[in-house]
Every structure is written in C-alpha cells, then in structure tokens.
Structure 1
Amino acid sequence: MLSYPQIDPVLIAIGPLKIHWYGLMYLIGFAAVWVLGQKRAQLPWSPIKPSAIEDLVTFGAMGVILGGRVGYILFYNFSEFISDPTILFKIWQGGMSFHGGMLGVFVAMWFFGKKQGCTMMQLTDIIAPLAPIGLGAGRIGNFINSELWGRPTDVPWAMVFPNGGPLARHPSQLYEAFLEGVLLFIIMRVYTNKPRPTMGPTGLALFCYGCFRFFVEFYRMPDVQLGYLALDWLTMGQALSTPMIIIGAAMFMWAHKKAA
C-alpha cells in the first residue's frame, strides 16, 4: 500500500483570499488551450485566426463552468435540486460534471461559430487535441482534494484517502489523469499532426474519452447519492459515457467516409 501524500488543497491563503489547487488546474487547462490554440490557429486549415483564440477560450471557459455546474445538478443531484433550487448557485459546496461541461462547450462553440462565420465542429476540432491537458490537470486536482476516490482494493498501489474511510482504495483519479490526460493527448496529437476531415478530431476525442471513462468507472466509487443505476455495476458516469462512445464513433466514421 502506498501512502497518500498529504497536500493542502489550498495552494495560497492571503487573509480571506484562498487559491485552491483545483482552481489552479482549471486555469492550467484554459491556458493550455490559449497557448497551443494560437499555434493551431496558424495552420493553413484553421477556420479562425490566432487573434480569435482569446475569445474562443473565453466562450469555452463559460461553457465548461456553467455547463459543468448545471450538468452536475441535473445528472447527479437532481432530487436535491427539486427540493432546493438554490443549490445550483452554491458553488462553494463543490460539484462539477465533465459531461455537463462538455455539452456547455458545444453550446458555447455554436454561438462562437456564428460570430466567426464557421461551424461548431470546426471549432471543437481545434479544442479536441488540447482538452486532455485540462482533463488530466483536473483529475490531479481531484486527487489533491481527496475526492472521487476508487473502490476498496488490495493492490500494492492502493491508498487510504483522508475522506475515504479506513479502507485502502484504488487511486482512480490518477488512472483517469493518465488515460484522459496523458494517453488521450498523445492519441489526439498523433491523429491531428496532419489535416483531418471536419468532425474527425471531435469524434475521436469523444470516443476515446467515453471508453476511458467507462473503463475507469469499474474502479471508481459510484456517487454516494446515486449508487449503482442498474445491474449492481452500472454507474451514472458509464451511462453518460455510453452515448459519447456511440456518437463519437459514428462522427469519426462519417467524417472519413465523407472525405473519401
């Protein structure tokens, strides 16, 4: 069993002002899209100019934050929302959903595409190869916060999390950081090294993330307020990832079929 590193979730505290590691991870993700997006926007097949990347990041950040919060409430805490709708605004209590944030980004890119005179998919194709950096950083933030830990296990790398009781558990946040962050970034970087048909990068990212998330959910504890949805193993994360896998695969194959 490995020892869980005791890292203070608060990076810097200046009086009442506190900067958390988790918030810093969001900034890392947005900064990565801004910096690397500038380079991608310089490519001949880019639908937008480098000067538009700053606005793209702004729209994308709004989509991630608003969509992530609304998605968490609707997917994971809807019953409490019905009894107390104000929890939607109690962001200090935590609660963000990747799937909600993803949908928020699609909506944001639809609006931004109207402004730029290009399609939503052309913009999400720019973001798709860069998003894994933020995804991986976010999972590291979950690990530092001692949240979203895994199921009890006796593997040599198991850890006892401060908020997870006395049992040793899978460090599922690190599994996700590797799969959704490192491995997905490599896959997308290799695939997008040359021009690809519109919708291809977005479809591949959806498919790969959905597969990785579905797999890791077997090692991650289900949300306590939901438990297993069916069959004593199906979690909300898997239920939400299944359409991603199907739609992502269909988009990828359709994009290449049209190109052919």
Structure 2
Amino acid sequence: MEHFIWNVNPNILELGPLQLRWYGLLFVGSFFLGLLILTKIYKREGKDPAELDALLIYAMVGTVLGSRLVHCLFYEPDFYLSHPIEILKVWKGGLASHGGLAGVLIAFYLFSKRYNTPYMWLLSRTAIAGTVIAASVRIGNLFNSEILGLPSDKPWAIIFAKVDMVPRHPVQLYEALSYLIMFLLLVTIYRKVTPAFATKIIPGVFLVTMFTTRFFLEYTKTRQAAYTTDLPFTTGQMLSIPYIILGILWIIWAFKSASKDSKYDKASHL
C-alpha cells in the first residue's frame, strides 16, 4: 500500500542563522486570527475592541510561559533541570498545550483585574477563539514533523520522511480537525443560548471536549515524555484528567446555576 510522504521543509526562509519557520508563522498568526474572532464578539456585545490589543499580549505571554514550563518540567525534567538555561530557548521547540492553558488562565485573570472585565465572561468568549489557535498550532507541528503518531497501516497514514519511512497516524491532523469541530460547537452554543448562560457553560464544554480529545488521541501518539512511569497513562493523559474533571464539574454548576436563576425569575414575577 502506498502512503502519502510528508517531506516539507519546516523553514519558510533562511537568512544565515535566522530562520522563519512555518510553526512560528502559524503560532503567531493564529493569535491574530483569534483576535479577529474576538473583535466580532466584542462588537456584537457592545464592548470596546480597543482593549483586545492588550489581551493579545497577555494571551501570548501566558501561553508561551505556561506551555514552555510544563513541557520542560513534565516531559523532559531530567534534561532541563540539569540544563536550566535551555528552558529559555523556546525557539528550539517544546511547548505543552496543558501548560499553555494554565498560563492563559492566569494571564486572563490578571487582565480581568487590570481592565475590569468579568473573568468568566472573558474565559467563555476567548475559549471560542482558543479552538482555532489550537488547530493552527497542530498544523505547525505537522510542518515540524513532530508529535508523531504510532505506526499504522491505515490508507490515510503518512510517512514523515524527515523522521523515518514508517507510515504513521497523522495525529496532528486528527487534533486540528477535532479543534475545528469544537469551534463550530462553541459558536453554535454561543449563538443559540442566552449570553448569561453562554458565559457559564462554554468554558466547561471547552475543557471537556478539548481534553477528552487529547486523552483519547494519546493512544495514537508516540510517547513524548523522556521518562516512563508504572501508570497505564501517558504524561499527556495524566495532565488531561484534571481538566476533564474540572470541565464536568463546570458544566454541572452551569446547569444548576441556570436552574436556580430560572426559579428566581419565576418567583420574582409571582
């Protein structure tokens, strides 16, 4: 069986020691795409889009710091603790999405305090844009021929020629497609429910769908951590479980809270 061979140069342009990589372009570009989505949301809800320039900076700094630290401390702790200066060399690669989300949650909390924006409202609206950013990052991983899938004989398996000649699950595409489906789901929820309920429910739906997807797709990935444990789960799966639990609890709270609000509204009209 013939399989598609992926042998794309990860560099768009090389000028001596300087390199412009597809990953970097997609990573940075995805944030500006997210900015466009949030601009429409802000205008739709009568909020000032001017503060989004600052939000973009908070989001990018939180994402890079969080994702870099979690990658270094959870996926390759022995190497980075022995060579701490390497933690600063982000351009060499090594970003963990679990840490990126944690970094963004902290950054957005600081932003909400600084700009007097309701934290829950901010999380729910940025979650919509976050799915597009996540999809773009995975396409960037594809250009880098990284986060490889396990060997596969499926007709859609891809050979990453820069790594080996073994057909593998294109797990980067699996994730990217999943996140775009999540985007459509969150947009549908946002448009179909009341703004107050969207604020409560969207973050929970984001967490459950995002990290349940991550959990199950780990079964098609090669192990990324530089160490093994006696546990039956990968590092990525173990990092996903707390987010899934948090998302489930969040959704339960959202429905209970909406039910209480509904009962209060009925009582107030009696």
**Runs (5+) with no aligned partner, structure 1:** none
Structure with greater Cα Rg: 2
Match of 2:257, SS?
helix
* CA displacement, residues 44-66 of structure 1 (integer Å, 9 cap, x when unaligned): 3x7x5211111111111111111
* CA displacement, residues 101-131 of structure 1 (integer Å, 9 cap, x when unaligned): 1000001001000012233222111110111
Partner residue of 1:3?
4
Which letter maps to 1:146?
A: S
User: Larger helix proportion, structure 1 or 2?
Assistant: 2
Does structure 2 conserve the Cα–Cα contact (< 8 Å) formed by 1:72 and 1:97?
yes
How is 1:105-116 mapped onto 2 (pairs within 5 angstroms)?
105-116=104-115
How is 1:28-177 mapped onto 2 (pairs within 5 angstroms)?
28-44=29-45, 48-177=47-176
* CA displacement, residues 34-87 of structure 1 (integer Å, 9 cap, x when unaligned): 11111111233x7x5211111111111111111111111121111222222212
TM, length-normalised to structure 2: 0.88
Which letter maps to 2:185?
A: I
Please tell me whether residue 201 in structure 1 is matched to residue 202 in structure 2: yes
State the identity %.
31
- Partner Cα distance (2:13, 2:230) in 1: 39
Does structure 1 conserve the Cα–Cα contact (< 8 Å) formed by 2:74 and 2:225?
no
Which letter maps to 1:190?
A: T
Does structure 1 conserve the Cα–Cα contact (< 8 Å) formed by 2:59 and 2:107?
yes
Which letter maps to 1:121?
A: M
Which letter maps to 2:24?
A: G
- Partner Cα distance (2:247, 2:204) in 1: 4
* CA displacement, residues 116-170 of structure 1 (integer Å, 9 cap, x when unaligned): 2233222111110111111111111111111111001111111221244332211
- Tell me by how many angstroms 1:227 deviates: 4.3
Which letter maps to 2:184?
A: I
Match of 1:4, SS?
strand
- Partner Cα distance (1:59, 1:36) in 2: 17
How is 1:178-217 mapped onto 2 (pairs within 5 angstroms)?
178-180=177-179, 182-193=180-191, 194=193, 195-197=195-197, 198-217=199-218
Does structure 1 conserve the Cα–Cα contact (< 8 Å) formed by 2:76 and 2:225?
no
Tell me how many residue pairs correspond in the alignment: 255
Q: Which runs of 4+ in 1 moved over 4 A?
A: none
TM, length-normalised to structure 1: 0.92
Does structure 1 conserve the Cα–Cα contact (< 8 Å) formed by 2:6 and 2:160?
no
CA-based RMSD = 1.7
- Partner Cα distance (2:10, 2:220) in 1: 24
- Partner Cα distance (1:68, 1:224) in 2: 14
* CA displacement, residues 186-221 of structure 1 (integer Å, 9 cap, x when unaligned): 111111114242332111111100111111111011
**Runs (5+) with no aligned partner, structure 2:** 260-270
